[in-house]
Structures are given as structure tokens and as C-alpha cells.
Amino acid sequence: MQQEIESIQKVYDLLIEFFMNYSFQILGAIIILILGFFIGKKLSLAIEKLCHKNNLDVTLTKFIVNIVKFSIIIGAVIIAVGKLGITLTPFIAGIGAASLGAGLALQGTLSNYGAGLSIIITRPFIVGNTITVQDVFGIVEEIKLGHTILLTEDGEKITVPNKYIIGEVIVNSFDFRIVEATIGVAYDSDIKKANSLILEVFDEFKEYISSSAKPQVGIKEFGDSSVNIEYRYWAKTDSYFEIQYKVNLAIFETLKKNSIQIPYPIRDVYIHNS
């Protein structure tokens, strides 16, 4: 029993001695950490407001805010650890060695982060744009360091690793995407009237079609049994297929109502008796 009391007393004395010698250092380190988190939060909020005020891109704003916030916090941690008298040199060396090994093991992931940083800085597209890349298209919902998320008309989310975006051909059509379609009419039809009727159909869909780029209608080619008329217009990406189907139906019904014949292939077959 006496030995246990002596052991407890020794521990108590060590704690008292430790706090007597290092209490101010510990208190200083805690204060530095609290100030670091407080300043980091306040400064990041101020920078975020400034970025929004200047209409800076959402993704770039988040990136700048996070860099500032974590830089201040990491700086505060380094100062606080130094205040406790702990030498950081061995830790930095260990982190460097670990980073080298992690870099070799995660080359693909790091290349995604590098590409994401390039996208954020150069901004070939922003959130809300419609892009086509790697044979997929959709509205850009979010740009992260590792990947970009596209949202389709059907509500599907397509995750594209950023390394497959940088260095590839990117088609950015902003809020719209082009529709190209062809319809054949008979050779004896009034082609100018058919073109005018198709253009009139687009007036019914003004709220879904881009007003800055006017629809185009014209003869694409002369087929075996029809004159093929092509029409092009820009449809909203979030209802791309729905608009396309409705426009096609409206064009078909309009041409039919106005006696513009849509022919089908006709072949003459001759039978020779030997």
C-alpha cells in the first residue's frame, strides 16, 4: 500500500513539475491554435464574400478559400508545436519520405489532382456549362480536384476523372446543345415552303431553344427518292431529348397538314420473259 502511494506521489510530482515548467508554453500553444482556427475561418469567409462580389467562378472561389484557410491553420499548428519545444525537422523528413512513396503509388490519383488544378486555374468550363468530352456529355454540376461530375437529362451523374479531360478535345456549349436532324420531302414539293414551315415550328418552342443562335434550315442532299432537308437548332441541355422529339413530331404534323409529301423509296421492277 505504501509503495502504491509513493508511486502516485511521484506521478503527481512529475505532473506538477511539468505544468510548472511548461504551463505557459502549453497555454500559448492552445491560444495560438485557437487564434489560427479563428483567423482562418474569418479570413476565408471574407475572401469568399470578395470572390462572390467580383462574380468569380464557384469552383475557383472554393479552391482559393480552402487554400487560405488550411494554410493559416497549418501555420498555426507549426508555430504551436514549436512553442512546446518540439523539433519539427525529423517529422518533415519523415513526411518527405512518405510523400515520395505515396507519390509513386498514387501516380494516377495525383495526375487527376494536377489536372483538376489546371481546370480550376484555366477554367475551360465552369459549373452550369454543358460539355462533351470522352464521348459523354452533360451539365457540369461540380468540379473537384480529382474529378468532374456531369448531370444528364435523365438525372444520371457521370463522374469523369480530370486526367481524361485535360489534353482532350472539350466541346463547351454552355447552356445549350446543338440538334441536327434531316427530313426528306418529295422532289415535286415546294421546297421553299417546306423550309418556311419548318422555321415556323421553331417559334412554338422559343422558351426551349437558344435565341442567340437562330435555327438553320436548308437542303442537305439530293437523295434517290427525296430532297433531304436538314435543320439545326440549339436545345436546352436539361431537356435535350424531350425537345428533339417534340420538334420532330411538330415538323412531321406541319408538313403533313400542308400537303408536303414525305416519300418512301419506290422501286420499279421489270420481269423479262425469256
Q: What is the pLDDT of residues 82-129, one digit of tens each?
A: 766 666 666 665 566 555 554 544 455 778 888 888 888 888 998 889
For residue 190, pLDDT over 90 is answered with yes
CB distance 77 to 36 below 8 Å:
yes
Q: Which has the minimum average pLDDT: 5-9, 34-38, 95-99, 264-268? A: 95-99
Question: Does residue 68 register a pLDDT over 50?
Answer: yes
| Average pLDDT, rounded, for the chain | 82
At 26, is the pLDDT very low, low, confident or very high (cuts 50, 70, 90)?
confident
Buried b or exposed e, range 80-116, using 16+ CB within 10 angstroms? bbebeeeeeeeeeeeeeeeeeeeeeeeeeeebbbebb
pLDDT for 248 beyond 90: yes
Task: State the average pLDDT over residues 12-22.
Answer: 61
Distance (Å) of CA 158 to CA 39, 55, 116, 149, 272: 37, 27, 16, 6, 60
Percent of the chain with pLDDT over 90: 33
Average pLDDT over residues 206-233: 91
Query: Is residue 129 within 8 Å of residue 117, measured between CB atoms?
Result: no
Check whether 10 has a pLDDT greater than 70. Answer: no
Predicted structure pTM score: 0.62
How sure is the predictor about 185, in pLDDT bands with cuts at 50, 70 and 90?
very high
State the CB neighbour count (10 A cutoff) for residue 257. Answer: 9
CA triple 216-219-221, angle to 5 deg: 135
User: Quick one: pLDDT band at residue 22, thresholds 50, 70, 90?
Assistant: low
Q: Give all strands (DSSP E) within the chain, no chain letters.
A: 130-133, 136-143, 147-151, 157-161, 171-174, 176-185, 216-222, 227-236
Look at residue 95 in the predicted model and tell me its pLDDT.
60
Interior/surface letters 160-190, b for 16+ CB within 10 angstroms, e for the rest? bbbbbbbeeeeeebbebbebeeebbbeeebe
pLDDT beyond 80 at 160: yes
Beta strand 136-143 pairing with 147-151:
antiparallel
**In the predicted model, what is the mean pLDDT of residues 18-41?**
76
Q: How would you classify the pairing of strands 176-185 and 227-236? A: antiparallel
